[in-house]
Structure 1
């Protein structure tokens, strides 16, 4: 009377046992937004003063514009290339402006 269980019977028993365990164990997965309470910023008692730089009349109100295009596959592999003016054809040019421009 030493009969071996067939592979189909073993699979069925394993499947049934798994279903029984899953049905009996309470499994709850909840995915939702994490709530974080904001902290209140304490109010400052003294006013904050902001220093402003003085500009000369020759540089005040100047508008400086730059045109850049992206370049892939060159040297360096990814770069911004200047178009027009002093930066024409320069990869990743150093852009210089005065405060207030």
Structure 2
């Protein structure tokens, strides 16, 4: 019921509330999008960190921990027999060459 001294503001209130809901909807979509992008970024950083750690561990498993140089064949066979040594690599100098007052050494290694 509307009294003669009252204003009928129901249309204006309805329009303002619809705009408010629309603005809140846009804001909520923006917030959800921001949270999704932030979580994707953080998970990418964490996964990259774990990947680097795994790569380093795998590379260290394939790398020799110690190298022996200029050992005899008998000493090499004794190294092959030890249980503490997982694998033995080979290392030898192929040849050396003098180039412009510098010596270049060519070496083969599978360690």
TM-score grouping bracket, smaller chain normalisation: under 0.3
The structure with the largest strand share of the pair is: 2
CA radius of gyration, larger in: 2
The structure with the largest helix share of the pair is: 2
Please give the TM-score of this superposition, normalised by the length of structure 1: 0.27
